[in-house]
């Protein structure tokens, strides 16, 4: 198990874990599914499920859908029941694996220290490539975490993925199995086919006025306008409050003095360490003897990184010579931080004892922070105060607006109380609700069937505050024939075209049987006949869905298929061509890797299925009770 940790910590799966862990900082549209008044969503296998877990699971689910269907895929457009079902499944699997990881001791100092290292190297928490404690704190607080709870979240995710990786790694396949896969996937086909071009057929169809009127009257439900809604809103931004901020006397001078006193805390220190884990020894004395022996070798001139690579029990850093990258006191225990505090470049600490391990620490990079002059700092000190106070004043007005809404005040009353202008939107439809000022939360409120006219609603958009009130609804109504004539003509032509294709397909099959297909095909400009030789599974000569179905057939089969673009293909499988032994030999190494990946995916599916089926699920939040 520990060997799998070494492999895991440098593997590609780790990026997915840490990326998923940072995703709560990006609003991806799933928060609206959650009952925000709840603090616990229940438990899975004894592991508590929190709102934070819901957000992480929803973001992992969203990214999985994007990986399957492309970055433009909008998860929020799925039916809400489907969204919740997918997120719930991810929650159950994640928490079930976490409980197993916990029982195996995979949540320990090693995974915790590695979680800290990943946080410190995450670009989300860096400025100019360097970890910034203030940025980290601000980011995690904005997502509802403390610094410590975010480390715990990252540690749990890493342990979960470690356990998943350990039971799905090292798949094995025999030479015969690899050969079978290679022979199957390297087959080619010789195909004769007749194609009915749907678009060309429809362009040859002429619709009379009477036919268009009849189709329109029989299908009026297809020609209703979208319901449109107009709303009033108050938009508050920090910029609106900057003129109200007063910088206190001596504030700038006091802040600069504080800046000078903390200059040492901004020094960039990179450290490496050698760790001896007490759990690997019979007692603490034996562990201390081991670290003393390493210290003796260091004093004798041995290289620090070489000793770390050879002796350190920290699997996350030993292959990098014990490198822990840039030091931040809040990420290390007090004794560890105290030992680093007085070290300078290339200094090596004495032995540091913590509860679970002994450490020797070395400073590998040391750069003193630049100290700016008062003249260079005074403008930024002032602007930072104004920015933060303006944001606070805006948040205060949000609370005022919220209280007024609770007391059934109108948007006009809120406007007067906040001395803010009321703006008005255009009429907007649900499917074209696009504006840089309004995100999906505004859309969901305005177009909710429960939203009443002239009832305001306040939304905290983090960088701005929005108070919205539905003003007017233009109900959906039947459009007149003239305004939708092009759509009516297109739909009718499509309907006729499909009927014509079915008729032509039957007639072509008949003409093939009596040998008159060539004469029949020549009579229709949108029907063609062709042949392909040695077509492979990845060919672009035909639609992929048609090729896929063709390779499911046997030699001599005939099949009629309709492509996604509605073209009809009547196929005859003339030959199934087996690959030569020589061509297979050239590709064998590539297929060995493919075979391992295939088996690993199958194992992962089985594990996830088994985990899901046997989980003790007690999700009690209201969002899951309607399934």
Task: Assign residue 616 the CATH number of its domain.
Answer: 1.10.4030
pLDDT top residue among 318 and 475: 475
Task: Quote the pLDDT of residue 87.
Answer: 85
**pLDDT tens digit string along 553-580?**
999 999 999 999 999 999 999 999 988 8
Q: Which H or E element spans position 367?
A: strand 357-367
Whether 497 has a pLDDT exceeding 60, the answer reads yes
**pLDDT tens digit string along 498-554?**
999 999 999 999 998 888 989 999 999 999 999 999 998 888 899 989 998 999 899
Whether 190 has a pLDDT exceeding 70, the answer reads yes
The arithmetic mean of pLDDT across residues 408-413, rounded, is 95
The arithmetic mean of pLDDT across residues 73-82, rounded, is 78
Q: Which residues share a beta bridge with 276?
A: 358
583 in any annotated domain:
no
Closest Cα to residue 571, out of 541, 593, 599, 592? Answer: 541
363 touches 269 (CB < 8 A): yes
Task: Quote the pLDDT of residue 157.
Answer: 84
Q: At 166, list the tokens.
A: 């350990």
Co-location of 27 and 157 in the same domain: yes
Of the three residues 308, 334, 367, the one that is the final residue of a domain is: 367
Lowest mean pLDDT among 201-215, 366-380, 440-454, 576-590: 576-590
Task: Quote the pLDDT of residue 511.
Answer: 92
Co-location of 536 and 391 in the same domain: no
18 in any annotated domain:
yes
Co-location of 341 and 207 in the same domain: no
Q: Which of 56-65, 74-83, 552-561 has the highest mean pLDDT?
A: 552-561
H-state helical runs in 447-523: 485-514, 517-522
Task: Quote the pLDDT of residue 304.
Answer: 93
Co-location of 31 and 95 in the same domain: yes
Outline where DSSP puts E strands in 368-504: 423-424, 428-429, 456-460, 465-474
Of the three residues 339, 367, 395, the one that is the final residue of a domain is: 367
Co-location of 32 and 132 in the same domain: yes
114 touches 176 (CB < 8 A): no
323 in any annotated domain:
yes
- Write out 113-144 in H/E/C secondary structure: HHHHHHHHCCHHHEECCEECHHHHHHHHHHCC
In the chain, DSSP finds a helix count (H) and a strand count (E) of: 21, 18
Co-location of 45 and 96 in the same domain: yes
Whether 7 has a pLDDT exceeding 60, the answer reads no
Task: Quote the pLDDT of residue 25.
Answer: 39
Integer CA distances (angstroms), 284 to 275, 358, 425, in order: 13, 9, 71
**Could you give the number of structural domains in the chain?**
4
Lowest mean pLDDT among 38-42, 130-134, 295-299, 612-616: 38-42
Co-location of 129 and 37 in the same domain: yes
**pLDDT tens digit string along 442-457?**
888 999 889 999 999 9
Of the three residues 367, 395, 412, the one that is the final residue of a domain is: 367
Domain that includes residue 546, residue range: 187-224+482-578
Closest Cα to residue 17, out of 152, 148, 117, 118? Answer: 118
CA distance 145 to 60: 18
Whether 109 has a pLDDT exceeding 80, the answer reads no
Task: Quote the pLDDT of residue 268.
Answer: 77
Residue 460 maps to which CATH number?
3.10.50
**pTM of the predicted model as reported, rounded to 2 decimal places:** 0.50
Co-location of 19 and 149 in the same domain: yes
Co-location of 144 and 202 in the same domain: no
Residue 280 maps to which CATH number?
3.10.50.40
pLDDT top residue among 627 and 97: 97
CA distance 318 to 316: 6
373 in any annotated domain:
no
Co-location of 9 and 111 in the same domain: yes
253 in any annotated domain:
no
Q: How much of the chain exceeds pLDDT 90, in percent?
A: 41
**pLDDT tens digit string along 20-44?**
444 443 333 444 444 433 456 778 8
Co-location of 144 and 49 in the same domain: yes
19 in any annotated domain:
yes
259 in any annotated domain:
no
- Supply the mean pLDDT for the chain: 82
252 in any annotated domain:
no
**pLDDT tens digit string along 204-248?**
999 999 999 999 999 999 999 999 999 999 999 999 999 999 999
Co-location of 23 and 159 in the same domain: yes
């Amino acid at each position: 198990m520990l060997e799998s940790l070494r492999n895991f910590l440098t593997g590609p799966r780790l990026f997915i874990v840490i990326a998923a862990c940072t995703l709560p900082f990006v609003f991806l549209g799933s928060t609206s599914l959650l009952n925000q008044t709840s603090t616990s969503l229940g438990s899975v296998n004894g592991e508590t499920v929190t709102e934070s877990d819901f957000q992480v699971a929803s973001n992992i689910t969203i990214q999985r859908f994007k990986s399957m269907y492309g970055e433009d895929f909008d998860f929020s457009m799925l039916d809400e029941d489907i969204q919740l079902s997918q997120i719930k499944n991810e929650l159950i699997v994640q928490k079930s694996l976490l409980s197993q990881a916990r029982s195996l001791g995979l949540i320990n100092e090693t995974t915790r220290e590695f979680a800290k290292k990943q946080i410190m190297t995450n670009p989300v928490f860096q400025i100019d490539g360097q970890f910034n404690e203030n940025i980290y704190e601000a980011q995690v607080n904005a997502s509802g975490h403390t610094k410590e709870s975010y480390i715990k979240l990252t540690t749990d995710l890493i342990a979960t993925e470690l356990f998943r990786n350990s039971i799905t790694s090292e798949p094995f396949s025999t030479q015969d199995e690899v050969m079978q896969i290679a022979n199957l996937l390297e087959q080619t086909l010789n195909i004769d086919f007749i194609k009915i071009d749907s678009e060309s057929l429809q362009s040859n169809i002429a619709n009379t006025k009477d036919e268009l009127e009849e189709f329109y009257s029989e299908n009026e439900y297809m020609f209703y306008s979208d319901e449109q809604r107009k709303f009033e809103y108050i938009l508050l931004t920090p910029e609106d409050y900057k003129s109200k901020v007063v910088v206190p006397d001596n504030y700038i001078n006091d802040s600069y003095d504080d800046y000078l006193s903390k200059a040492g805390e901004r020094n960039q220190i990179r450290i490496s360490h050698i760790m001896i884990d007490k759990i690997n020894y019979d007692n603490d004395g034996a562990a201390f003897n081991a670290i003393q022996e390493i210290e003796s070798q260091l004093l004798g001139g041995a290289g620090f990184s070489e000793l770390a690579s050879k002796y350190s029990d920290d699997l996350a850093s030993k292959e990098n010579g014990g490198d822990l990258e840039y030091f931040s006191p809040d990420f290390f225990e007090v004794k560890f931080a105290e030992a680093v505090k007085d070290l300078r470049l290339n200094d090596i600490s004495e032995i540091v004892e913590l509860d679970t391990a002994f450490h020797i620490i070395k400073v590998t990079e040391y750069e003193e922070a630049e100290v700016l002059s008062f003249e260079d700092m005074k403008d930024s000190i002032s602007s930072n105060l104004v920015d933060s106070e303006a944001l606070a004043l805006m948040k205060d007005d949000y609370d005022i607006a919220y209280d007024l809404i609770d007391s059934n005040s109108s948007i006009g009353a809120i406007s007067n109380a906040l001395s803010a202008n009321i703006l008005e939107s255009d009429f907007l439809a649900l499917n074209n609700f696009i504006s840089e000022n309004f995100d999906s939360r505004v859309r969901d409120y305005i177009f909710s069937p429960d939203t009443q006219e002239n009832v305001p609603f306040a939304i905290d958009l983090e960088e701005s505050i929005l108070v919205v009130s539905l003003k007017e609804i233009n109900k959906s109504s039947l459009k007149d024939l003239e305004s939708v004539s092009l759509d009516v003509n297109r739909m009718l032509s499509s309907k006729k075209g499909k009927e014509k294709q079915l008729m032509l397909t039957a007639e072509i099959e008949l003409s093939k049987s009596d040998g008159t297909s060539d004469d029949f095909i020549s009579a229709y400009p949108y029907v063609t006949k062709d042949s392909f030789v040695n077509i492979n599974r990845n060919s672009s000569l035909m639609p992929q869905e048609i090729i896929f179905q063709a390779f499911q057939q046997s030699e001599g089969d005939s099949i009629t298929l309709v492509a996604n673009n509605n073209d009809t293909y009547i196929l005859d499988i003339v030959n199934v061509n087996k690959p030569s032994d020589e061509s297979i030999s050239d590709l064998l190494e590539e297929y060995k890797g493919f075979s391992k990946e295939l088996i690993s995916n199958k194992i992962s599916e089985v594990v996830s299925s088994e985990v899901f089926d046997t989980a003790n699920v007690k999700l009690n939040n209201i969002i899951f009770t309607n399934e």
